[in-house]
Structure 1
Amino acid sequence: MKGFLAKIDPRSGLRYVLLLQLAIAGILVVSDVASLYPSPFQKQVDLPSGPISPGDQRREYRTDRPNPKLLRMDEPPDLPMPENFPGRLEFTEQVVERIGRVLLVSGQIEVGDAQRFVSFLSDMQEKPDLVALHSPGGVVSEALSLGRKIREAELSSGVLAGAVCMSSCPYVLAGGEERIVSLRGIVGMHQHYYEQLRYIPVLFAVEDIQKGQGETMQHLIDMDVDLSLMLFSLNTPPQQIYALIEEELIETRIATAIID
């Protein structure tokens, strides 16, 4: 055996190790790219498109614009909402009847948005009565940070009529000391991706996902939101969204008050 090992050229051995690593990387790349496209063997689910009702709460998930068919808009929205979601969060001040000074936070949640929120808030002449959310979600860690910033500022959060708060956005909503949700708005959950290095061994990828889930659960505990909220997330595929009804909003405490 010792003689056999002595015959191995170290340079050849290193080359074989590098080739093996490249092969593993290639497999991970192919599997990752394949996950972006629907499998021809995967059963396609035809989802309804109208307003949600109890037991009929799954709809197609979109990040480009809200789905107006999800919303019960028999009356005008509480404040004007953008037709398309901005590529990152935008902040605008508005006054809403019965609520007061509102800071509308709309768009996709990207890295750095929590600090941008803090900067905008510090430049406001008066503290807003409500942080109103209108977002399809985005980077989970940034949503958690933004939720903590809202809590540190002792602000209330809400989803008003005509607005949606989906994917990671409910973790921002959780930050409000009071959380107001309109029955003509949508709070939606689904499985989401936690940030991780691409093309790393599966063992470490799973470890990162579990760490991300743990941080999310701790955030909900800190914000006094029931962990049962996570069930709606874990049980809904990423391409779908599960819209919570009034009973679920109240029982999970993601909403502390419901308005029409």
Structure 2
Amino acid sequence: MTFKQRFSAWLADYPDDAILRKIFQGVVAVTIAVLALDLAGMNGLLKSSDTASSPAETAPRLDVPAILAPLLPGSDRRGVPMPRADGALAKPMSFELVGGGRLMASGTITPGVSEAFAAEIAKRGDYVKTVVLNSPGGSVSDALAMGRLIREKRLATEVEAGKLCASSCPLMFVGGQERRAGEKAAIGVHQVFAASALDPNVHRDEMSDAQRISARCQRYLGDMGINLQVWVHAMETPKDRLFVFKPDELKTLNVVTSTPAVEPSEVPAAKTRT
């Protein structure tokens, strides 16, 4: 029996209303299946769109090596997210004396570390000639105190090639009588904020505190002979971002006075550590 004959026999077995119901049910089933497929496709598209538009998922977590990458033609290093301090940089600043009168100062500038720095300088006498910095910043008051001591002792400061000096660290850096920055050294600033803002149990006028700290920093930069445009860049940059100076800006603003005379690979092995 052919298909046409079988179909004619099937029609003869059912009344007209039953046939219409079967056809309607079939159309509904196909429609539901098509809608389900469309919804599944849209759901996948929406998920992809959400992922693409979510900065937390698409943007890489920026760490120190990312902002130290070479500039691409036409690109800019300013306004990058504040780098995450990892490893040694996340630890409180420590001091290591190496050959050539170089004192390595690495890590976060924690409250009170300026006292340890002063003790280190006093203990080493006239041996220390250069303070070499690698720090994501930290306590502004301690950075100012260490910077003033560096200038008082007429020491030089340096940020080696590929190293970081961010946030309050440049305040310490500009204390140097001579200031050197290696190739691709990242020196950057942003807004200061009162420490009380980090403690929910302390109720103070945070705006007043921030303005007072800002005034101290401006006065200090003026005393160190630094162009105050440096502080304009800092105040224009949110505290979760970092304005990284270009090499020519470091010279124009008098942040650096020369390039390093000694490369990191030439520095002798460490002798002492505190």
- Give me the TM-score of the superposition, normalised by structure 2: 0.65
Residues 108 and 154 from structure 1, CA distance in 2 versus in 1: closer, same or farther, beyond 3 angstroms?
A: same
Kindly tell me the number of residue pairs found equivalent between the two proteins: 195
Residues 125 and 154 from structure 1, CA distance in 2 versus in 1: closer, same or farther, beyond 3 angstroms?
A: closer
Alpha-carbon separation, structure 2, partners of 1:55 and 1:211: 35
Partner of 1:209: 210
Q: How far apart are 1:87 and its partner, in Å?
A: 2.3
Q: Is 1:116 aligned to residue 137 of structure 2?
A: no
Alpha-carbon separation, structure 2, partners of 1:184 and 1:247: 12
Q: Is 1:87 aligned to residue 107 of structure 2?
A: no
Q: Is 1:200 aligned to residue 203 of structure 2?
A: yes
Q: State the structure with more CA Rg.
A: 2
1:123-202 aligned at under 5 Å gives the runs 123-124=123-124, 126-196=126-196, 198=199, 199-200=202-203
Q: Is 1:225 aligned to residue 246 of structure 2?
A: no
- Does the 8 Å contact 1:194/1:208 carry over to 2? yes
Alpha-carbon separation, structure 1, partners of 2:255 and 2:196: 27
1:14-163 aligned at under 5 Å gives the runs 46=59, 49=66, 51-53=69-71, 55-57=75-77, 58-65=79-86, 83-95=87-99, 100-124=100-124, 126-163=126-163
Partner of 1:71: none
| Deviation larger for 54-63 or 107-116 | 54-63
Q: What 5-or-longer segments of structure 2 have no aligned partner?
A: 1-53, 264-274
- Does the 8 Å contact 2:192/2:210 carry over to 1? no
Alpha-carbon separation, structure 2, partners of 1:258 and 1:92: 22
- Does the 8 Å contact 2:132/2:158 carry over to 1? yes
Query: Percent identity among equivalent residues?
Result: 26
Q: Is 1:249 aligned to residue 247 of structure 2?
A: no
Q: Deviations over 1:163-210 (max 9, x none)?
A: 210000000001111111112311111223233475536xx2211111
- Does the 8 Å contact 1:161/1:183 carry over to 2? yes
- Give me the TM-score of the superposition, normalised by structure 1: 0.68
Q: What 5-or-longer segments of structure 1 have no aligned partner?
A: 1-42, 66-82
Backbone CA RMSD of aligned residues: 2.4
Residues 125 and 216 from structure 1, CA distance in 2 versus in 1: closer, same or farther, beyond 3 angstroms?
A: closer
| Deviation larger for 85-94 or 103-112 | 85-94
Residues 242 and 177 from structure 1, CA distance in 2 versus in 1: closer, same or farther, beyond 3 angstroms?
A: same
